[in-house]
Amino acid sequence: MIGLTYDLVPCQGIRSVLCASQPISIIVLAARPLALLSKNHALRRRLPQMETNAGVCFQPTLEAADINTLRSFVMSGQSISLLPHFAVRRQAEAGVLRTIPLDNMPLCVTTHVVARVQRRMDPMLESLLGMLADHHPALQPPVDSVTRLSA
């Protein structure tokens, strides 16, 4: 069994076998109210530090547990949001959404493919990891690099 998670919290019996970092950007169509991921999401837990660094207090008009909900809300023209690049890559490349990097307060989310510690790295799993590294949006550039961790 393998899984995919963002910003892995260390857990006994689970190891990361593939990981990549994605920059977080402000995603906009126009100046609109702010929509954020819910408080239990890893990205949202980092916002207090951003608020402190920027001297602001975010007041979201919408909180959602799902990235797709936020992306849709932004695309409807009702809001701006903070999302990882992979979540809006196609829309940004098509010119539908604009991403604004957070240069003065960089923030990233790290995606991990995890497996049980006792899971053997057999050829089928190695092949699956290769396909994920090559094709999963959360593991694609603009990350500095995708890091393959030792077995």
User: Is pLDDT above 50 for 15?
Assistant: yes
Instruction: Give residue 106's pLDDT band: very low, low, confident or very high (50, 70, 90).
Output: low
Copy the structure tokens of residue 38: 């819910």
Each residue's pLDDT tens digit, 34-92: 888 888 887 788 778 777 777 778 888 889 988 899 989 888 888 888 888 888 888 88
Identify how many contiguous H helices and E strands the chain contains and give both numbers: 5, 8
Q: List residues bridging with 6 in a β-sheet.
A: 111
Residues 110, 121: Cα–Cα separation, whole Å: 22
Q: How many CB atoms lie within 10 A of CB 93?
A: 9
Instruction: Give residue 145's pLDDT band: very low, low, confident or very high (50, 70, 90).
Output: very low
Each residue's pLDDT tens digit, 116-134: 888 888 888 889 888 988 8
User: Is pLDDT above 50 for 144?
Assistant: no
State how far the alpha carbon of 63 is from the alpha carbons of 36, 80, 146, in Å: 5, 12, 30
Instruction: Give residue 11's pLDDT band: very low, low, confident or very high (50, 70, 90).
Output: confident
Chain-centre distance of CA 49, in angstroms? 17
Averaged pLDDT, 8-20: 84
Establish how many alpha carbons lie within 13 A of residue 101's alpha carbon, considering only the half-sphere containing its beta carbon.
Answer: 7
Of these ranges, 2-11, 26-35, 113-122, the one predicted with the greatest mean pLDDT is 113-122
Domain count, the chain: 1
Q: Which domain holds residue 67?
A: 2-148
CATH of the domain at 76: 3.40.190.290
**Which pLDDT belongs to residue 69?**
92
Q: How many CB atoms lie within 10 A of CB 66?
A: 11
Averaged pLDDT, 111-115: 86
Instruction: Give residue 103's pLDDT band: very low, low, confident or very high (50, 70, 90).
Output: low
Q: How much is the pTM?
A: 0.64
User: Is pLDDT above 70 for 148?
Assistant: no
